[in-house]
Structure 1
Amino acid sequence: MTKAQFQVFSSPEFVAQAVASHIAEVVRARPQTVLGLATGKTFVSIYEALVRVSAETGLSFAEASSFNLDEYVGLPVGHSASFRRYMEEHFFRHVDLPADRALLPEAGDDAEAACSAYEAAIAARGGVDVQLLGIGRNGHIGFNEPGSAFDGRTQVARLTPSTIAANTSDFPPGEVPPPEAITMGIGTILDAHAIVLVATGAAKAEALARAFLAPMDVDCPASALQQHAHVTVFCDEAAFAGMGPKA
């Protein structure tokens, strides 16, 4: 039986509100919190809710820091589909998180050096306090695709065709996502003091069940979360459907 704690809600909207409230509570309790942030369609409503909480309650991120999970390799600065642009539009520009402490991987001319630098920056901040994660239909977390080592560190990952296809709608017509991205490795993710995994919709039900009910397997990267002592899963009823009544 998985050690993860499940919070199940009737709709994605309630999931978003609950995750935002949870993160707000963490930051209020420890203003210097180091957040691990994620992107993707699931998180748009979460950031909207968190921005709303900040505006309505005066929640400040002025002493916080953040590290995003990943960024594409090879996109021009400011590209509309970059995760930096996503974070600016949905979160960074709406809160008082200092720009020099809102970090994403940056490949530059030497992607391998960038990976090492990102690991060092996370360590210099004392590690991630709370890591937000989504889960892919194939069980990927970050851009750690099936087959990724559970002890992997920040690295250049080659994306599977299914992941590229899933993300193509984020790009302008005629463009496809780059084949590579820098991503926190599974080992880096597992170093976070606490992990919040978010899953909504029936399309994620199988992946969620594989992650927490089946034995750990590199073919389902999210199953590595079974090793972590402090995982909370926020999901809707549709995503939870495969877990059974006693998960």
Structure 2
Amino acid sequence: MNIHIYKNKKELDQAVADILIEHVRQNPTITLGLATGSTPIGVYDLLIKDHQMNQTDYSRVTTVNLDEYVKIGKNHPESYFSFMKKNLFDHINIQMDQVHLPDGETDDLDQACEAYNLVLSQHIPDIQILGIGGNGHIGFNEPGTPFDMKTHIVKLAEKTRKDNARFFESLDDVPKEAITMGIQNIMDARKIILMASGANKAEAVKQMLSGPITEQLPASVLQNHPNVEVYIDKEAAKLII
């Protein structure tokens, strides 16, 4: 893994945005694996500003998202579909039929997992953006998830629900389940960019980079991937520098 350390989140976001913009310009039909949550918002904002100023073209770009909540509805304001529209898709010229997220609304969740695996087999990410949870999760693959798991339904760990509660009115409103790319799907990406900022991610970053490769820290599997770039700020890097 190549590690890039920045003074603050603003510089980190700019570095990742610059990479994505350059790749989109060089490969207009690129497939981007996207993430939600607070980690990538600054990057998406920079992509929007660049599109507005420089007309970077997303009309032939395909996207696949890591995950979606179960049973809150895609048009719920806190669904990841709504998140992506609000924070990126509504502001660039991407074609919505080229946007893919797992279906958390259906009553047949097993079939939804199979359907998303098919999508991912047809649209392997050229670049997959990842955050990392304080417990080392990637996507919603919580500690204990088998490394060979593909798209699946996961019961969200209490820590993860508490981390996400700031986006809801109360912890009770945070969904208890999500549908997520599995670790195997993530590892299929041709290139992975993992982002982390803040002291609360420092221990997970340290274990991801230098700890044992263990299902108890899902991100540690990235040590086995041939093309991972880690972008972190000084706070997230404080235990490794």
2:143 maps to 1:146: yes
Assess if the C-alpha contact under 8 Å between 1:70 and 1:143 holds in 2. yes
Distance apart, 1:58 and its partner CA: 1.3
**Letter of the aligned partner of 2:226 in structure 1?**
A
The one-character-per-residue Cα deviations of 1:195-234 (angstroms, maximum 9, x if unpaired) are: 0000001111100000011110111000000010100011
Change (3 A) 1:216 1:76: same
The one-character-per-residue Cα deviations of 1:175-195 (angstroms, maximum 9, x if unpaired) are: 421111000000000000000
Q: Out of 16, 20, 24, which is 1:19 matched to? A: 16
Separation (CA, whole Å) in 2 of partners of 1:38 and 1:163: 15
Separation (CA, whole Å) in 2 of partners of 1:164 and 1:174: 7
Alignment of 1:80-229 (within 5 A): 80-107=77-104, 108-125=106-123, 127-173=124-170, 175-229=172-226
Assess if the C-alpha contact under 8 Å between 1:143 and 1:181 holds in 2. yes
Assess if the C-alpha contact under 8 Å between 1:213 and 1:243 holds in 2. no
**Letter of the aligned partner of 1:116 in structure 2?**
E
Distance apart, 1:174 and its partner CA: 6.7
Distance apart, 1:46 and its partner CA: 1.1
Separation (CA, whole Å) in 2 of partners of 1:179 and 1:173: 13
Assess if the C-alpha contact under 8 Å between 1:134 and 1:199 holds in 2. yes
Separation (CA, whole Å) in 1 of partners of 2:11 and 2:74: 34
Unaligned runs of 5+ in 2: none
Assess if the C-alpha contact under 8 Å between 2:131 and 2:138 holds in 1. yes
**Letter of the aligned partner of 2:107 in structure 1?**
D
Separation (CA, whole Å) in 2 of partners of 1:145 and 1:76: 23
More off after superposition, 88-97 vs 163-172: 163-172
TM-score normalised by length of structure 1: 0.95
Separation (CA, whole Å) in 1 of partners of 2:96 and 2:213: 38
Aligned identity (percent) is 38
Assess if the C-alpha contact under 8 Å between 2:13 and 2:42 holds in 1. yes
Separation (CA, whole Å) in 2 of partners of 1:8 and 1:77: 35
Distance apart, 1:61 and its partner CA: 0.7
Assess if the C-alpha contact under 8 Å between 1:10 and 1:236 holds in 2. yes
Who is 2:38 aligned against? 41
Assess if the C-alpha contact under 8 Å between 2:74 and 2:80 holds in 1. no
2:34 maps to 1:28: no
Assess if the C-alpha contact under 8 Å between 1:150 and 1:218 holds in 2. yes
Question: Runs of 4+ in structure 1 displaced over 2 angstroms?
Answer: 172-176
2:38 maps to 1:53: no
Unaligned runs of 5+ in 1: none
